[in-house]
Amino acid sequence: MSPQILISDVLREQRQYFRAGATKSVDFRIAQLQALKQVVIEHESEILEALKADLNKPEFEAYTSEFSFVIQEINYALKNIKNWAKTKKVSIPLILSPASAQMIPEPLGVVLIIGPWNYPFQLSLLPLIGAIASGNCAVIKPSEFAPHTSHLVAEIISKNFPQEYISVVEGDVEISKQLLQEKFDHIFFTGSTATGKIIMAAAAKHLTPVTLELGGKSPCIVDKEINLEVTARRIAWGKFYNAGQTCIAPDYVLINKDIKKEFLKNIEKCIQEFYGDNPKNSPDYARIINQRQFSRVANLLQGDIRIGGEINADELYISPTVIDNVTWEDTIMQDEIFAPILPVIEYVDINDVIDKINLRPKPLALYIFSKNKKFQQKILSETSSGGVCINDVIKQFSASNLAFGGVGDSGIGSYHGKASFDTFSHYKSVVNRKFFLDASILYAPYAGKLSLLKKLLG
Ligand code: NAD
């Protein structure tokens, strides 16, 4: 059977299943979330092993940033779903009386979730939690570049959920393109900005709404008024976690000239503390996903390499690297790095930094390290980004009650917690009028009625 026929079959089955209405009951959704939680817990060791096989992801990182995120998000949805799914009564203007009005959240139908390879487990399942909580059927297409995780997600889902409810379609870009030919009720995509444009163009043919969780270059601004040791530790952690392959990793550092030297010393110390003298031998340091990415990243190793710069193609290893004296025009400053390379640009005047950031596509994340509230506030109010974390990095992703998403080139829409529920729901507005008091003022002939109506409307 060709994948095209298979995909159409799955979609037809899912449409029928959705129309039959089972997914609309809140009790059903709760039961599915509980089942998902149970099955994820049962497969903990396989999940961590798959991530190790795909990215050499250290067990600690796999547990904290993939496994536990999924469990946390399910728990949060279970705690709040009854409230989210409630019909919301709203007040209406006098002119509509007597009547009542409400907004009813309803599932969209059959949704498509396309995932990337860098956090291949949680970025396939986190959107699914929202889709289930909102009462949808879902097709998931995990990334082909994390095959162990992709197979495991397919296995876990197919063994525990009927295909007509949730289905995993594995495969590469060609499969993804075939999926995009079909009409879905929503497409939730996580991946690069370039692919995001292709997804949106394909979705437009069916007028399918999209959520695009994209990437970009997330700046990290470091003021003079900081705790230098903690700042360096947090930035080094966020940059070299998962070998820099994190959409919200600090892409580059903009540092006050006066403290640059000390900052670099501290970063070097942190790398040594985290990964020892030779990070290649550290069990806590991930690898680049594949040869294609490795070649791309290796080409970025140019300029004033202060720390690291070692590579080993056979092991897909790139050591934690810091490049000093980078300029805005350098190659490394043109696209998202997505690797363990930290360019450092020094500044004297923060206004120049803000101007430069504002000339570039809006980032997914922006980081500010400063104890100075005015400094923080100035950057917050004069720049735009998907999210911000002050005096740390990446943490803005970790709270289910904080919506996560990009803006401009870094994405459209958001998710996590209630935002996920909203993303996969349509709020149907309903006005329910009564038959009595059918005011004749609204009906033709209008002669003499407008002035009275104006008074009534205020
Ligand atoms: P990618 O865009 O290459 O691929 C993502 C998915 O899209 C994969 O499943 C792939 O099969 C599919 N795909 C690729 N090309 C396609 C095409 N032409 N037509 C249809 N489908 C296609 O992204 P990636 O390399 O897997 O992930 C890295 C990117 O994802 C980075 O830019 C990173 O910043 C971004 N990202 C963003 C977030 C976020 O939450 N905003 C999270 C993780 C990664």
Is the beta carbon of 197 within 6 A of some atom in ligand 1?
Answer: no
Q: Which helix (H) or strand (E) holds 69?
A: helix 68-84
The reply to whether 329 belongs to the active site is no
> Which residue type is seen at 181?
Q
Is the separation of the CB atoms in 127 and 22 below 8 Å?
Answer: no
Instruction: State the closest ligand 1 atom to the C-alpha of 191, by its place in the atom list counted from 1.
Output: 30
Is the beta carbon of 234 within 6 A of some atom in ligand 1?
Answer: no
Task: Give all strands (DSSP E) within 175-244, no chain letters.
Answer: 186-190, 210-213, 219-222
Instruction: State the closest ligand 1 atom to the C-alpha of 195, by its place in the atom list counted from 1.
Output: 2
Is the separation of the CB atoms in 29 and 165 below 8 Å?
Answer: no
Per-residue tokens: 106: 């309803």
Is the beta carbon of 188 within 6 A of some atom in ligand 1?
Answer: no
Residue 96 has what pLDDT?
A: 86
Q: Environment class of residue 442 by beta-carbon count within 10 Å: exposed (0-12), middle (13-18) or buried (19+)?
A: exposed
Which among 244, 134, 241, 261 is positioned nearest to 188, based on CA atoms?
A: 134
Mutate to test the pocket of ligand 1, among 176, 212, 396, 410 (most ligand atoms within 8 A of CB): 176
- C-alpha 400/C-alpha 75 separation (Å) is 10
382 backbone dihedrals φ, ψ, rounded to 5°: -105, 0
Nearest CA to ligand 1 atom 22: 173
CATH 3.40.309.10 residue ranges for the chain:
219-398
3-state DSSP assignment of residue 149:
helix
Residues ≥6 apart with Cβ < 8 Å to 283: 58
- C-alpha 386/C-alpha 365 separation (Å) is 6
- C-alpha 125/C-alpha 32 separation (Å) is 13
Lowest mean pLDDT among 86-100, 275-289, 339-353: 86-100
pTM: 0.96
Instruction: Report helix, strand and coil shares of the chain as percent, to nearest 5.
Output: 50, 20, 35
- Express each pLDDT in 123-142 by its tens digit: 999 999 999 999 999 999 99
For domain 219-398, give the CATH number. Answer: 3.40.309.10
Binning pLDDT at 50, 70 and 90, where does residue 1 land?
very low
Residue 378 has what pLDDT?
A: 98
- Express each pLDDT in 402-452 by its tens digit: 999 999 999 999 999 999 999 999 999 999 999 998 888 889 999 999 998
CATH 3.40.605.10 residue ranges for the chain:
3-214+408-430
User: What length does the chain have?
Assistant: 458
Interior CA angle at 398 toward 395 and 400, to 5°?
140
- Express each pLDDT in 324-349 by its tens digit: 999 999 999 999 999 999 999 999 99
Q: Residue 2: is its pLDDT beyond 70?
A: no
In Å, how far are 62, 120, 260, 360, 404 from 243, measured between CA atoms? 13, 15, 23, 25, 22
Mutate to test the pocket of ligand 1, among 54, 149, 190, 241 (most ligand atoms within 8 A of CB): 190
Mutate to test the pocket of ligand 1, among 57, 150, 195, 212 (most ligand atoms within 8 A of CB): 195
Cis peptide before 120 (omega within 30 of 0): no
Write the DSSP assignment of 353-401 as a string of letters.
HHHHHHHSPPPSEEEEE-S-HHHHHHHHHH---SEEEESSSSGGGS-TT
The reply to whether 44 belongs to the active site is no
| 3-214+408-430 belongs to CATH 3.40.605.10 | yes
Write the DSSP assignment of 348-359 as a string of letters.
S-HHHHHHHHHH
The active-site residue, picked from 61, 66, 213, 346, is 213
The active-site residue, picked from 137, 247, 270, 389, is 247
